Amino acid sequence: MNEIVDLKTLPIDLQERIRDLLKCKENDNKDIDIYWSELYGSINSSQHGREITKEVADYLRDKYLGI
């Protein structure tokens, strides 16, 4: 995806899950797998609820989840 996704335009739940994961990574939190899973589920929910496109979902998965 060549365009940059503006996080402010994402659904609020998705924005919160991204912030939670980034905060967890900054603090070397041992529970990172919980935050990873929550973000993964939020991305999927937003995609299947047609709040974001498949391309945006793929971009977010790659950028934040490494998949």
pTM value?
A: 0.88
Half-sphere CA count of 27, side-chain side, radius 13 A: 11
Torsion of CA 27, 3, 5, 65, to 10 degrees: -40
Percent of the chain with pLDDT over 70: 96
Domain layout of the chain by residue ranges? 8-65
Q: What confidence tier does 55 reach under pLDDT thresholds 50, 70, 90?
A: very high
24-39 in b/e burial notation, b at 16+ Cβ within 10 A? Answer: beeeeeeeeeebbebb
39: confidence class by pLDDT, cuts 50, 70, 90 = very high
For CA atoms 43, 58, 61, 1, the dihedral sign is negative
